[in-house]
Amino acid sequence: MKNKEVSRIFREIAQILELKGENPFRIRAYEKAAQNVESLEKDIEVVAKEDKLTSIAGIGVDLAGKIKEIVSTGKLKQYQALKKEFPADVIKMLDIPGLGPKTVKLIYEKLKITTIKKLQDAAKSGRLQTLEGIREKTEENILRGIELVKKGSERVPLSFALDVSAEFLAELRKCKEIDKIEVGGSLRRRKDTIRDIDILVVSKRADTVMNKFVNSKLVKEVLAHGKTKSSVISKDNMQVDLRVVENKSFGSALLYFTGSKDFNVKFRQLAIKKGYKVNEYGAFKKEKYICGKTEEDIFSLMKMAYIPPELRENRGEIEAAQKNKLPRLVKLKDIKGDLHVHSKYSDGTSSIEEIAAQAQLKGYEYVAVTDHSQSLKVAGGMSKERVYKKIDEIKKVNKKFKKIKILIGTEIDILSDGSLDYPQKLLAEFDLVVAAIHSGFKQSKAQITKRLVSACNNKYVNIIAHPTGVLWGTRDPYDVDLEEVFKAARDNEVALEINCHPQRLDLNDVNVMKAKANGVKLTLGTDAHIIDQLSLMELGVDVARRGWLLKEDIINSMPLDKVLKWLKK
């Protein structure tokens, strides 16, 4: 797989071309190509071999030739020549917020500044002010931008952004000048990681709302404060943007503010073809306002089905909506049980009975109590004896609860040599076996892949939990050949989990799509360690929806009898 390599090279070419002041549309062509290659499901090397590169959107004859060169020689002559034109650190200056290609070029060429450190020194000493168009404020902004880069303006996990946005929403809702309020952006699309929070409000008193917003106690720093748009940095270091519009523009503004960027570009192009102009204030014919009060109005004007926010990534959803062939996405109410829950028997805090009661309250037909296996000592991994004790208790509780079935489960460790943490004889005692990697994350791709594949080959294993091991913001996924895991899972009727825990959300949307394309079934598991966390199911459903899943793709949208049948593969 050289998809990442190709897209990295194209992205960097785009940056260098920006510095050179090249045609912006040519630059965008490289960026678009980079993105499309990166999100391509197929291996770019295979597509190149089949001579089908130009069938990829945004890849024409020229870029196809460049991809072939990269795939066959591992290099691209054009790229190597371009790299010589600017020092690597100068290209990195483009990452500084507020500093764009024009200014970087000016600074590099006039002052011969080649590193971010030198840039910082020059800004502090006021030397940048010798340049045309740069005065005190710009210098300050550059210094602030450098600090932001150092701190790492990285994406945060969805759950963290949800918490921050909830605080802002609560604060803004106190403001009686606000008639409507909604979150947009990647948060509304429920991406697994979020860079900034976009909030949209309807108000007739935009100035009052803006003043309250930028002066809120939640705000650390004001980046911009305009009549209809403001940006701040929150106390938790998240950028929050607020936009105020009139009611008649609420739908169009929400559409625009929800994005994604690629979706917006495609959508607006389509509008032009149909003779309309769509912006955040509405859909217009010539200068005449047609609609914009709701998103539905605009979709219907474009003669397409309403596209749920989770799908708006320009991954084919616009074409599908035009043909009225959008997938009937799984909904929270389709989920009939939770297949990954921890009890007091390992590192959870709830009793079997509490879990049963809460799951019943959720309207579930079943819940699997999947405690850790013996090796995972830090998480109260259970000995063989404790397993039998737990089985006895579950049987008793099952007699007490008529409306819900507790499945006897285990989240068993896949040990570093690929073997499982309990003998086969004990595994036979469980209704459900969830296998997962909790150690040896640094092993080679081949080793990790082999461990997961051999777990799939075990006849008692039903589910692979959090298949890539990612912990958003803390730990990168381990190196694994998912294609191999997909094959093994499909051939052995093993499902892959979408772990709903906000730090995990693993598999993610893209891998969920790939799994489905490979004929693999998915499960949703909250990994709850306390009964309140059974509500995390919602986040997992969001991932499933972003991955275009129907309820038919998800094991635990089936009723109990069918799940039991599936478990007895």
Contacts with DNA by CB under 7 A lie at: 23, 25-26, 28-30, 33, 54, 57-64, 96-104, 132-139, 141, 185, 196, 198, 224-230, 239, 241, 261, 264-265, 268-269, 271-273, 275, 277-281
Q: What six digits make up the tokens of 439? A: 């150690």
The smaller minimum CB distance to DNA, of residues 91 and 96, is found at 96
Q: Concatenate the DSSP letters of all residues of 82-96 into one string.
A: HHTTS-HHHHHGGGS
The smaller minimum CB distance to DNA, of residues 203 and 343, is found at 203
The smaller minimum CB distance to DNA, of residues 27 and 412, is found at 27
The smaller minimum CB distance to DNA, of residues 262 and 353, is found at 262
Measured from the CB of residue 294, what is the shortest distance to DNA in angstroms?
Answer: 19
For residues 130-150, one letter each, b for 16 or more C-beta atoms within 10 angstroms of the residue's C-beta and e for the rest, the string is ebeebeeebbebbbbbbebbe
Measured from the CB of residue 566, what is the shortest distance to DNA in angstroms?
Answer: 42
Q: Is the peptide bond before 524 cis (omega within 30 degrees of 0)?
A: no
Measured from the CB of residue 118, what is the shortest distance to DNA in angstroms?
Answer: 17
The smaller minimum CB distance to DNA, of residues 200 and 531, is found at 200
Question: Helix or strand or coil: residue 117?
Answer: helix
The smaller minimum CB distance to DNA, of residues 29 and 513, is found at 29
Instruction: Give the contacts of 451 (CB within 8 A, at least 6 positions apart).
Output: 414, 415, 416, 417, 418, 437, 440, 443
Measured from the CB of residue 206, what is the shortest distance to DNA in angstroms?
Answer: 8
Measured from the CB of residue 437, what is the shortest distance to DNA in angstroms?
Answer: 36
Question: Helix or strand or coil: residue 227?
Answer: coil
The smaller minimum CB distance to DNA, of residues 23 and 424, is found at 23
Measured distance CA(276)–CA(282) in Å, rounded = 10
Measured from the CB of residue 509, what is the shortest distance to DNA in angstroms?
Answer: 20
Strands 282-285 and 522-525: unpaired
The smaller minimum CB distance to DNA, of residues 304 and 482, is found at 304
Measured from the CB of residue 186, what is the shortest distance to DNA in angstroms?
Answer: 9
DSSP-assigned beta bridge partners for residue 17: none
Supply the angle between the helices 3-19 and 24-38 in degrees, to the nearest 10. 160
Measured distance CA(321)–CA(305) in Å, rounded = 5
Measured from the CB of residue 390, what is the shortest distance to DNA in angstroms?
Answer: 50
The smaller minimum CB distance to DNA, of residues 159 and 279, is found at 279
Closest C-alpha to 555, from 395, 411, 434: 434
Q: Concatenate the DSSP letters of all residues of 363-396 into one string.
A: T-SEEEEEEEBTT-GGGTPBPHHHHHHHHHHHHH
Question: Helix or strand or coil: residue 332?
Answer: helix
CA distances from 425 to 86, 89, 318, 430 (A): 64, 59, 51, 10
Measured distance CA(226)–CA(224) in Å, rounded = 6
Measured distance CA(278)–CA(256) in Å, rounded = 9
Beta strands in 226-270 (DSSP E): 229-234, 239-245
Measured distance CA(256)–CA(261) in Å, rounded = 8
Measured from the CB of residue 546, what is the shortest distance to DNA in angstroms?
Answer: 19
Question: Helix or strand or coil: residue 414?
Answer: strand
Q: Residue 414, class by beta-carbon neighbours within 10 Å (0-12 exposed, 13-18 middle, 19+ buried)?
A: buried
The smaller minimum CB distance to DNA, of residues 165 and 239, is found at 239
Measured from the CB of residue 302, what is the shortest distance to DNA in angstroms?
Answer: 13
DSSP state of 59: -
Measured from the CB of residue 440, what is the shortest distance to DNA in angstroms?
Answer: 39
One-letter-per-residue 3-state SS of 273-329: HCCCEEECCEEEECCEEEECCCHHHHHHHCCCCCCCHHHCCCCCHHHHHHCCCCCCE
The smaller minimum CB distance to DNA, of residues 232 and 341, is found at 232
Measured from the CB of residue 499, what is the shortest distance to DNA in angstroms?
Answer: 29
The smaller minimum CB distance to DNA, of residues 169 and 564, is found at 169
The smaller minimum CB distance to DNA, of residues 31 and 497, is found at 31
The smaller minimum CB distance to DNA, of residues 103 and 526, is found at 103
CA atoms within 13 A on the CB side of 268: 16
Measured from the CB of residue 414, what is the shortest distance to DNA in angstroms?
Answer: 41
Measured from the CB of residue 49, what is the shortest distance to DNA in angstroms?
Answer: 18
CB contact at 8 A, 20 and 49? no
DSSP state of 476: P
